[in-house]
Chain A
Amino acid sequence: MKEVFISYGSIITPLGNSEEQIFQKMVAGDSGIQTAVEVGNKNENIPLGKIRDLSSDNHYIELLNRTCDQLIDLYGDMVAEKSTKIIISSTKADIEVIPNDSFVSTRKIIKSKLNNHGDPLIISNACISGILAINTAADYISHGLFDNVIVIGIDVLSDFVTFGFQSLYAISNEVTRPFDKSRKGINLGEAAGAVLLSKNNLGKTFTAKYLGGSSSNDANHISGPSRTGEGLFRSINKTLERSKVNTESIDFISGHGTGTIFNDEMESIAFDRLGMNSIPLNSMKGFFGHTLGAAGVIEVICSMKMMEHQILIKNIGIEEVGVSGKINILENNLKTEVRTILKTGSGFGGGNASLIIQSIT
């Protein structure tokens, strides 16, 4: 198998439009979540991770176009080359057009903006889409099918998703507090992020090695996580094995941590079962909200920023850890050696996915 490199391409979130700006806000502990007025099904005020400087009504089209522009600025003609593949990770894509096909505009924009020869591969696998997309990109590189694969993770806020999570009683009426004793649920958010998987270290932006990844189903319930964290446990074990890395060498875990009672509890049990009790861990949902198909990608980008700056960012919203598995939630930023990172995600449909990246030096 060939070596695979990963670097960040572009990122637009409720905290800003460049990875350095966003990261500095995270270091300062700023959240991008604000209460939005009368946005609920019954006109409730709900905290949302909304991107405030979008000018058009259709956030998806604008975000995807801006992401493409940023990628062209960074990579130039490479985005169109035959040896480059584009992968999109999104749960609902251009959701405003439902009842019409919400994935049509994605193909059009990618084709016209990036001028790429082939069709983009669109992965839609609930909240693990982003990690799955990165793992699939690595497959294309390691099998020698492409030299470069750009993974774009993107999802936007909508009544559809907000009302849906409200109907499941999964939305918190305050800023989300993943892994905290008094957590009440998720905040939804919107974002777009892109990473590049490559056979070469192109050196355009901070670059790390991609070591391995996997997915595993809970085989338990379509909308609730396994009580024992079975799928996550199995996925992480597979990823460790494929990455040829042992638990002791993981410096940091970027967890999923949605802020719901059951998800965070499940994750803590899986990490506990894996003996990952002392590895510093955070959820970034308190910064951006849950950005669904974008989450895996933007959280990998922010994890790479932590590697670049050798500082781990705290899990904002934490006051008192309230999960039964023994885990080491980052209550403060921590300057430390950050060499090997485990990223995990879990989602509806019983999906769990994980990947490991490692610094080059």
Chain B
Amino acid sequence: MIYSCKIEKGAVFLNGVKQPIGLSNSENWTKELYLELGLNYPKFYKMDDLSKMAILSFTILKDTVDFEKFGEDDVSLIFANSGSSIETDKKFLTSYSENESPSPSLFVYTLPNIMTGELAIFNKWFGENIFIINEKYSPELYLEQINFYFSKGAKACLCGWVENKNSEQDCTMFLMTNDGAKTTEKELLDIYNQ
């Protein structure tokens, strides 16, 4: 089975259906969504935008999937984007080049895989993680990696494309369970393009 969620400024899609959540196009859309979802996770406010989007998408996805059935080592995280942690990189660069005070709280988010770490912490998941930098969203790449992790024993793969680059902010997330069902590249492309 495949379950999906896509969030971006102004819109939320769950399993292909646009959700009736009123989001503005403002810079603060992740905070709006956090409040809208009634999440109570104070760490959220300390996170970079990549991690925020990942936690929000996951929270929405969680409503339609019984994650409790997976053990703490069962879920592999396969995440990717094209911009790495570029927006936090820029802020950290400014903190020392202009403000002469390199910020430790920014520095720790200058790695894209911190986001998968945040998801692991949020869920107490000890499974496998991989973060890939790719020029564009690639269904083929996900299917390849999912196949690798299923054959190594993962019961599910939580995959994501989380981008925060220039003015682009969006997160496409999908969960594939290891039950023999096949997913096509087209299906994965449709999730991204909605």
Q: Looking at the assembled complex, report how far the CB atom of A270 sits from the nearest CB atom of chain B, in whole angstroms.
A: 13
Of the residues A119, A123, A167, contact of B131 by C-beta under 8 Å: A123
On whether the beta carbons of B120 and A101 are closer than 8 Å, the reply is no
On whether the beta carbons of A222 and B133 are closer than 8 Å, the reply is no
Give the nearest-CB partner of A132 in chain B: B130
Q: Looking at the assembled complex, report how far the CB atom of A125 sits from the nearest CB atom of chain B, in whole angstroms.
A: 4
- Given A160-B92, A349-B111 in contact, is the A215-B126 Cβ separation under 8 Å? no
A163 to B135, CA, bound (A): 29
Of the residues B100, B112, B132, contact of A121 by C-beta under 8 Å: B132
Known: A165-B107, A351-B129. 20 other contacts (CB 8 A): A98-B89, A99-B90, A101-B86, A103-B133, A121-B132, A122-B134, A124-B131, A124-B133, A136-B148, A164-B104, A164-B110, A214-B152, A216-B126, A216-B127, A219-B124, A220-B121, A221-B121, A222-B118, A349-B114, A351-B113
**B139 beta carbon closer than 8 Å to chain A:** no
**A102 beta carbon closer than 8 Å to chain B:** yes
Q: Looking at the assembled complex, report how far the CB atom of B15 sits from the nearest CB atom of chain A, in whole angstroms.
A: 26
Give the nearest-CB partner of A139 in chain B: B148
A300 to B171, CA, bound (A): 35
Q: Looking at the assembled complex, report how far the CB atom of B114 sits from the nearest CB atom of chain A, in whole angstroms.
A: 5
A160 to B118, CA, bound (A): 23
**Per-residue CB proximity of A262-276 to B under 8 Å, as 1/0?**
000000000000000
Chain A residue contacts of B144, Cβ below 8 A: 145
On whether the beta carbons of B113 and A126 are closer than 8 Å, the reply is yes
Interface residues of B (CB under 8 A from A): 72-73, 77, 82-84, 86, 89-90, 92-93, 96, 100, 102-104, 107-108, 110-118, 120-121, 123-135, 141, 144, 147-148, 151-152
Chain B residue contacts of A198, Cβ below 8 A: none
On whether the beta carbons of A348 and B133 are closer than 8 Å, the reply is no
Task: For chain A, residues 12 to 40, give those with C-beta under 8 angstroms from any C-beta of chain B.
Answer: none
On whether the beta carbons of A167 and B104 are closer than 8 Å, the reply is yes
**A181 beta carbon closer than 8 Å to chain B:** no
**A77 beta carbon closer than 8 Å to chain B:** no
Task: For chain A, residues 149 to 168, give those with C-beta under 8 angstroms from any C-beta of chain B.
Answer: 159-160, 163-168
A6 to B107, CA, bound (A): 35
**Per-residue CB proximity of A212-239 to B under 8 Å, as 1/0?**
0011111111110000001100100010
On whether the beta carbons of A119 and B135 are closer than 8 Å, the reply is yes
Sample of 9 A–B contacts (CB below 8 Å): A101-B86, A124-B132, A145-B144, A160-B89, A216-B127, A217-B77, A217-B125, A349-B114, A350-B121
Task: Give the interface residue-count category, chain A.
Answer: 35 or more
A98, A123, A222: which has the most chain B beta carbons within 10 Å? A222
Chain B residue contacts of A139, Cβ below 8 A: 148, 152
B96, B121, B126: which has the most chain A beta carbons within 10 Å? B126
On whether the beta carbons of B102 and A124 are closer than 8 Å, the reply is no
Of the residues B103, B117, B148, contact of A348 by C-beta under 8 Å: B117
A91 to B111, CA, bound (A): 7
On whether the beta carbons of A101 and B83 are closer than 8 Å, the reply is yes
A239 to B91, CA, bound (A): 38
Of the residues B96, B117, B126, B130, contact of A234 by C-beta under 8 Å: B126
**A278 beta carbon closer than 8 Å to chain B:** no
Q: Looking at the assembled complex, report how far the CB atom of A169 sits from the nearest CB atom of chain B, in whole angstroms.
A: 8
Closest CB pairs A-B (n = 5): A349-B117, A164-B107, A217-B120, A163-B102, A139-B148
Give the nearest-CB partner of A219 in chain B: B120
Chain B residue contacts of A348, Cβ below 8 A: 108, 111, 113-114, 117
Chain A residue contacts of B73, Cβ below 8 A: 216, 234, 238
Chain A residue contacts of B129, Cβ below 8 A: 125, 215, 217, 349, 351
